[in-house]
Amino acid sequence: MHLYDNLESGNCYKVRLLLSHLGIPFTKEDVSVVGDRDAQRGEAFFARNPIGKIPTLVLDDGTALVESTAILYYLAEGTPYLPAEKRARARVLQWMSFEQNNHEPNIATARHELVLEAEKPSAEQVDRWQSAGHRALRVMERHLTENDFFAAGRYTIADIALFAYTHVAPEGGFELQGYPRIGTWLDRVREQPGHIGLRD
């Protein structure tokens, strides 16, 4: 397998983290995530990958799979990181979809534009991310008050998906001191066998 990757991207990190847990060997190459990404990646990249995003995982038969949720689900099927029972799998997908719809577009985008991009966002934009991002963190904190993990009572790809940008949320201006359950859960994720860091 070959991964189009970037060490600052939490979405790419999710894939590397699961591959590490699973002990699956892979090659990787770095793709820029700053500036006009579509123009930099060029037509050859889009020809293989119409969505044009990373991570892109190229399977051994040449299939190029995009979107972290789809890649994680594909890799985790039949492993302890995705339960086999249908309702438990639905719950995993629920939290992964929440991450991509409510968490990442605010918390990851704020971090991306504040830290990595040359042109800085307006105060109005930062306020919008703050409001929606803290709503997502409150949802997580509420769930973790009664649960150790996000789905199926154990560590799954739902935790991997939510860990990636939560643990670097302070880089985007989201302080986590007000979320003690999230803090405990972050440590619980770090203790999983095969855990690696964002830039490992």
x/- site string to its own copies, residues 87 to 126, per CB under 8 A?
Answer: x-xxx-xx--xx-xxx-xx----------------x-xx-
Applying CB under 8 A, the span of 17-25, 137-145, 166-174, 182-190 interacting with its own copies comes to 137-145
Among 7, 22, 30, 38, binds its own copies (CB under 8 A): 38
First-to-last alpha carbon distance for the chain, in angstroms, is 18
Q: Is 65 in the site for its own copies (CB under 8 A)?
A: yes
Nearest to its own copies of 50, 153 (CB atom): 50
49 φ, ψ to 5°? -145, 90
> Which amino acid makes up residue 47?
A
Of the candidate residues 22, 29, 32, 50, the single one contacting its own copies (CB under 8 A):
50
Token reading at 198: 């964002």
* DSSP string over 106-171: IIIHHHIIIII-SSPPPHHHHHHHHHHHHHHHHHHHHHHHH-SSSBTTB--HHHHHHHHHHTTGGG
Distance CA 80, CA 88 (A): 12
Residues near its own copies (CB under 8 A) are: 38, 46, 50-53, 59, 63, 65-71, 73-74, 77, 86-87, 89-91, 93-94, 97-98, 100-102, 104-105, 122, 124-125, 128, 135, 139, 142-143
